[in-house]
Amino acid sequence: MRHVQHSVRLPIALDRTLRQLAARRETTPYALLQSCVRTGLALLTQENAAGPIPTALAEGLGQLGARIVHVERLTERALYVSCAAYVYARAAAPIRVDESRLTDDIDDAFQRQLALAGETP
């Protein structure tokens, strides 16, 4: 196989990204650049590149965006409810409650919930 040499000039931001990605993949920036060129050319030479693939991607991204907005709303609501529960609990607690004990109890409850959610090892 014969190779042809091309010179490529990249903006600094792209070069930085290329080097970081190459380091994460444990390869050289030059090898990653060759892979990017191969992948890009393969995508550009596909017959359907301008048809259903970008349309499907756009629809998928739109659906993903809508779900992210929904998750943000749910997260904000959960935070609001948590804050309300905290305020009501503080109001119901005796005046001379040891703050460190409350913090320990909160941390214990939080760790139990994380364990139930599968977030801790």
Confidence of residue 41 (pLDDT cuts 50, 70, 90): confident
Angle in degrees, CA 107, 109, 112, rounded to 5: 110
Does the structure show a pLDDT above 50 at 45?
yes
**Structure token pair of residue 8:** 């490529």
DSSP letter, residue 96: T
**What DSSP designation does 48 have?**
T
Contact (CB, 8 A) for 29 and 19: yes
Question: pTM of the predicted model, to two decimals?
Answer: 0.38
pLDDT in tens, 56-113: 777 777 788 888 888 887 878 787 778 778 777 876 877 766 777 777 777 777 777 7
pLDDT band at 46 (very low <50, low <70, confident <90, very high): confident
Q: DSSP label at 75?
A: H
**Tell me: the pLDDT tens digits for 51-71?**
556 667 777 777 888 888 888
